[in-house]
Chains A and B, each alone.
Chain A
Amino acid sequence: MTPLLEICNLSVAFRDGDENRLLLDGITVGLGQGEILGLVGESGSGKSLLCRTVMGLLPSRRLRVTAGAVRLEGRDILNDDIAAIRGRRIGMIFQNPTSHLDPVMTIGRQICEGLGRHRGLTGAAARAEAVDLLAQVGFPDPAEAFSSYAHRFSGGMRQRAMIAVALACEPEILIADEPTTALDVTIQAQILRLLMDLRDRRGLSIILITHDLGVVAQTCDRIAVMRRGQLVEVGEKRALLAAPAHAYTRQLVASHPLLSHAEAALPRHDADGAEPLFDVRGLEVAFPRGGGFLRPRRVFRALKGVSFSVRPGETVGIVGESGSGKSTFARTIMGLTRATAGDVVFAGHSLRSGRAAALKALRSEVAMVFQDPFNSLNPRMTIGQTLAEVLRDQGETPHDRIPGRIGELLDMVGLERALADRRPRSLSGGQCQRAGIARALAVNPKVIVADECVAALDVTIQAQIVALFRDLAEQQGLTLLFIAHDLAIVRNLCERVVVMHHGEIVEDGPSAEVFARPARAYTAELIAAIPDIDPDRPMGGARTNDKNDTNANNANKEELAT
């Protein structure tokens, strides 16, 4: 059987003046009728570019197809009239539905656009069809959604809207470019399930681009692995995951944080004896939201009474979905955001009754690492200047020892000493994140608070940074508060896990126990929604959850008029 879509020896080059780089190098892969093909790779692997090339949507005029062909049912479409195929036979959805949906056009009109262009439906007929499509993709009130604008919906619902817009043209093939990367895991599970349903119901063939091996393991039939513009390996899902042939695939598989058969997390400390380092009691934080002159002032309660304590040497993972309050929690215990009620006691100093002393202690003993590697370093300062500034400010290192200390710090985080003279912009994301960790270590801290510090990194880099944290925690006896949305990473790094949801701690306990026997339904749901790299451990739940997503729009119920 010939595949529906064949990509043969496809090469794309970037040409600018004398510069000539091959971005796609002889890619050959096919997509069968009703098949889901997972296209996996890290940033810069060319997976998105490959799909744009198929759609005839090269993102720059300096890009050219230099060789190869793309055939749809045997007909070359690269040199054919792509307009007749784009949308009509091959549809596409994207990672960020917020920026891909037209903000000033109703969702209904965007669907009708395709209906009119490709199926000749206009007026009431188009409207009826559009409402039906919105119902199919899971809008609880499709008629209302028809005349609404995208910004009114949550991320998950926007992605559903984008799927409806693509389906309006009745394509045979759907290219989904990282469709769930920006979404929370429970929402991700729903969208993936929707895509699989659509395949079953409509016989849709899907190319699913993702960086997450778990996602492909759970949804795809075959996997194609890309790296630096080349297809390194392609094969049936189970065979490929069980026995990857290529070294890079093996590295990818090894880097994927495992939830199921995780290696033992750090040994649990005997935490009962020591005085708590952080003691948080009934912490509440509320932000004024909207409102203003002559308008009811609303309050968003980011934290609703959180109590917990950390003992020296503990490694604690704080997990939760977006809006759970985990980052607010980190900033509040650091004294960067003021609490509305409750107290944080650090090493015996209360942020409420002795704020100055508590802040002094916090600044010299606790350091933070941030999410966005590029943004967390001052772009105008070199890495060396950044570190020197901290060392001088802390005043514990004699001036003549500062250059030497900078070298030591860079060694500790595995950066070459020569990088001290570089600015963040000329470093990679992983290097910046290491520099950020070096800055935290420059304080010579007892505690490191890491806020989503691996979320923006590729999996292989992610694994390296997690390993670095593990080493640092073990060698230096650091206390670690590791905030993440990715439960698997926390499972591998932390001995204790705290689950947050809507500003509250819903579960707190040793990682091994929480992951094996979650006490709360929410935790169980969260764990079940993580796509496991083992295809035989299917994602759980999620189907019952559509309503949550709509309401997650959200927090409307969290807002209280005062």
Chain B
Amino acid sequence: MLAGGLAILGGFVALALLAPLIAPFDPILQNPEAKLLPPSWAHPFGTDNFGRDVFSRVLWGARIDLQIAVLGVVFPFLIGTGAGTVAGFFGGWVDAVLMRIIDVVLAFPFLVLMLSIIAILGPGLASFYIAMALVGWVSYARLIRAQILVLKSQDFAVAAASLGFSRLRIMFRHLLPNALAGSLVFVMSDAVLVLLNGASISYLGLGVQPPVAEWGVMVAEAQGFISQAWWITLFPGLAIVTLAFGFSLTGDALADLMGVHE
């Protein structure tokens, strides 16, 4: 399972890196001669209403969507892990304040809060990452905090305290490495959510802007041609599903490997 998941992820990384070399056409260049062509040898995934090669656009899209999945996870992960560790370890008012903030952020539907922030910042990928960092950290903070609370009461942590180790040592050497195991699994399932969110927001027209080749944008642009040219919609969607499947599979395998249950 782990091999399968990593193979899918590795495959997408390779395609994204090699896109300029292996894509048969320019992803943005319009060709009025070749509009809405069905899949063929020349155009394996067909062409869209501007005559652009869907296969090339899907390949180039991998660059953007992988970036979304990775960067959209990294910032929330770092912020959330830091906040959760501090709150779980020190407790008291730090914890109380943090938990109230988390409650408030979670009271908003995720996408609604994202959209509200993007409404202020203006559409675009940068706004998406900022909104992600502002909203996404709460799940990591909650998860890590819960783990730290459990670990803190375990005998090895009490032993470390009874041996007079410093708080920093206990926090970073004893608690955090054990807490991270669970959040690594969560990183994988979160990458799926972030990917879907990024693509959805781009689909709504508030993320990546046309004519850039991004899978959500591609589906949005194909909307009007669904009855004539199904291929423009099908292939970018399949790309999202496959990449997400790679993340899910890797996450499941890691969970089995480390004996974590979500």
Residues of A within 8 A of B (CB): 331, 334, 336, 359-360, 362-364, 366-368, 370-372, 375-380, 389-390, 393, 436, 439, 443
Given contacts A367-B163, A370-B155, A375-B155, 10 further A-B contacts (CB under 8 A): A336-B158, A359-B164, A362-B164, A363-B163, A366-B162, A372-B155, A377-B156, A390-B163, A393-B163, A443-B163
Residue in A closest to B159 when the chains form the complex, CB atoms:
A376
Residue in B closest to A380 when the chains form the complex, CB atoms:
B177
Q: How distant is the Cα of A33 from the Cα of B178 in the complex, in angstroms?
A: 53
Cβ of B162: which chain A residues have Cβ within 8 Å of it? 334, 336, 363, 366-368
Cβ of B173: which chain A residues have Cβ within 8 Å of it? 389
Q: Does B209 contact A (CB under 8 A)?
A: no
Q: Is the Cβ of B164 less than 8 Å from the Cβ of A370?
A: no
In the A-B complex, the 9 residue pairs with the smallest Cβ-Cβ separation, listed nearest first, are A363-B164, A376-B155, A370-B155, A368-B162, A375-B155, A378-B156, A380-B177, A375-B154, A378-B174
With both chains docked as a complex, state the minimum distance between the C-beta of A396 and any C-beta of chain B, in angstroms. Answer: 13
Residues of B within 8 A of A (CB): 154-156, 158-165, 169, 173-174, 177-178
Q: How distant is the Cα of A379 from the Cα of B151 in the complex, in angstroms?
A: 11
Residue in B closest to A442 when the chains form the complex, CB atoms:
B163
Q: How distant is the Cα of A334 from the Cα of B162 in the complex, in angstroms?
A: 7
Q: How distant is the Cα of A366 from the Cα of B161 in the complex, in angstroms?
A: 12
Q: Is the Cβ of A380 less than 8 Å from the Cβ of B178?
A: yes
With both chains docked as a complex, state the minimum distance between the C-beta of A322 and any C-beta of chain B, in angstroms. Answer: 17
Cβ of B178: which chain A residues have Cβ within 8 Å of it? 378-380
The CB with the most chain A CB atoms within 10 A, among B154, B158, B159, B161, is that of B159
- A–B pairs, 8, beta carbons within 8 Å: A334-B162, A336-B161, A363-B164, A368-B162, A379-B178, A380-B177, A436-B159, A443-B163
Q: How distant is the Cα of A377 from the Cα of B158 in the complex, in angstroms?
A: 10
Cβ of A367: which chain B residues have Cβ within 8 Å of it? 162-163
Cβ of A439: which chain B residues have Cβ within 8 Å of it? 159, 163
Residue in A closest to B161 when the chains form the complex, CB atoms:
A336
Take A380-B177, A380-B178 as given contacts and tell me if A371 and B161 are in contact as well, using a CB distance cutoff of 8 Å.
no
With both chains docked as a complex, state the minimum distance between the C-beta of B256 and any C-beta of chain A, in angstroms. Answer: 16
Q: How distant is the Cα of A366 from the Cα of B163 in the complex, in angstroms?
A: 8
The CB with the most chain B CB atoms within 10 A, among A331, A362, A378, is that of A378
Residue in B closest to A331 when the chains form the complex, CB atoms:
B158
Q: How distant is the Cα of A363 from the Cα of B163 in the complex, in angstroms?
A: 5
Residue in B closest to A424 when the chains form the complex, CB atoms:
B156
Take A375-B154, A378-B178 as given contacts and tell me if A368 and B164 are in contact as well, using a CB distance cutoff of 8 Å.
no
Cβ of B174: which chain A residues have Cβ within 8 Å of it? 378
Q: How distant is the Cα of A457 from the Cα of B216 in the complex, in angstroms?
A: 58
Residue in B closest to A393 when the chains form the complex, CB atoms:
B165
With both chains docked as a complex, state the minimum distance between the C-beta of B178 and any C-beta of chain A, in angstroms. Answer: 6
Q: How distant is the Cα of A522 from the Cα of B112 in the complex, in angstroms?
A: 63
Residue in B closest to A369 when the chains form the complex, CB atoms:
B159
Q: How distant is the Cα of A368 from the Cα of B158 in the complex, in angstroms?
A: 9
Residue in A closest to B181 when the chains form the complex, CB atoms:
A380
Cβ of A380: which chain B residues have Cβ within 8 Å of it? 177-178
With both chains docked as a complex, state the minimum distance between the C-beta of B142 and any C-beta of chain A, in angstroms. Answer: 19
With both chains docked as a complex, state the minimum distance between the C-beta of B97 and any C-beta of chain A, in angstroms. Answer: 15
Q: How distant is the Cα of A275 from the Cα of B109 in the complex, in angstroms?
A: 65
Take A378-B174, A378-B178, A379-B178 as given contacts and tell me if A371 and B155 are in contact as well, using a CB distance cutoff of 8 Å.
yes
Q: How distant is the Cα of A375 from the Cα of B154 in the complex, in angstroms?
A: 7
Cβ of B161: which chain A residues have Cβ within 8 Å of it? 336
Q: How distant is the Cα of A219 from the Cα of B160 in the complex, in angstroms?
A: 43
With both chains docked as a complex, state the minimum distance between the C-beta of A454 and any C-beta of chain B, in angstroms. Answer: 14
Residue in B closest to A379 when the chains form the complex, CB atoms:
B178
Cβ of A362: which chain B residues have Cβ within 8 Å of it? 164
Cβ of A375: which chain B residues have Cβ within 8 Å of it? 154-156
With both chains docked as a complex, state the minimum distance between the C-beta of A355 and any C-beta of chain B, in angstroms. Answer: 13
